[in-house]
Amino acid sequence: MLGRQAYEPVWQAMKAFTETRNEATVDELWFVEHDPVFTQGQAGKAEHVLKPGDIPVVQVDRGGQVTYHGPGQLVVYLLLDVKRSRKGPRAIVSGIEQAIINVLHTYGIESCARADAPGVYIQGAKIAALGLRFRKQRSYHGLSFNLDMDMEPFSRINPCGYEGLKVAQLADYVTAFNKQDVIDKLLRSLMDELGYDRIEITGQGLPRT
C-alpha cells in the first residue's frame, strides 16, 4: 500500500517500470489512494468534463473516458507481463471485474460486470471502474474501487463518458468495514482470478505477485 499520493508521480513511475522491465521482472500490484484528480483517457471527449472546478484534469494514456480519483477510493495498478501470463487483455479485464465481484459478495452485495462498459455495477450504479493500457504485451493502469469517499466530484463529469450514470460506494451498503480488510480480500481475489500463487510484500508495503 503506497498510502495517499499525488496522481502524476505514480503514473510516471508505472510508465517507467513498464518501459524498463524485462522477461524476468516480477509482476507488481500497486495499491494507492490519490489526491483529488480527474483523469481523461486517450479517447476521452472534452464534453464529458462538465465543471471540474478546483480539481485538476490530467490527460493520460489509458483506455476509457473521464473518471475521478480521490481520498476514500482504492486504486490498484496492475503491472503485468501479459505474454507470460498467457491471458489476453479481455481475460485480464474479466478477471479483474470478477475479483471485485467476489469481494463485494463477501459483504453480501450482489454485483455484476457489463459487456458494453467495463467495470462493476450494483443495480446499475458503478462501484468500480477499469482502465488499462497494454503496451508491448505488458499492462499498466488498473482499477478504482469506491469505498467511503466524497461522491460530489462525480457530479462534475459524465463518469466514464455516460451521462447520468449513477455511481456507488461500499459505504452505501455496509455500515462499517475495515479498509485493510477490503485490501486484503481484493489482493487475494486478484491473485486467484489472475492465476498467481505467491506474493511478497516489498518496499512501502507494496504487494508483489
- The C-alpha atoms of residue 45 and residue 104 are separated, in whole angstroms, by 31
65 is in an annotated binding site: yes
> Residue 209 corresponds to which cell in the numbers above?
505477485
Residue 143 labelled as part of a binding site: yes
Is 63 annotated in a binding site? The answer is yes
Whole-angstrom CA distances from 186 to 13, 56, 138, 180 are 23, 28, 21, 10
Which run of H or E residues covers position 100? Answer: helix 89-106
As beta bridge partners, residue 29 has 78
144 annotated as ligand-binding: yes
**Which grid cell is 28?**
507488481
34 phi, psi to nearest 5 deg: -105, 155
**Is 129 marked as binding a ligand?**
yes
Question: Residue 142 annotated as binding?
Answer: yes
Q: Is 121 annotated as a binding residue?
A: no
Point out the residues that are catalytic: 160
Annotated binding site: 62-69, 129-131, 142-144
Annotated binding site for substrate: 62-69, 129-131, 142-144
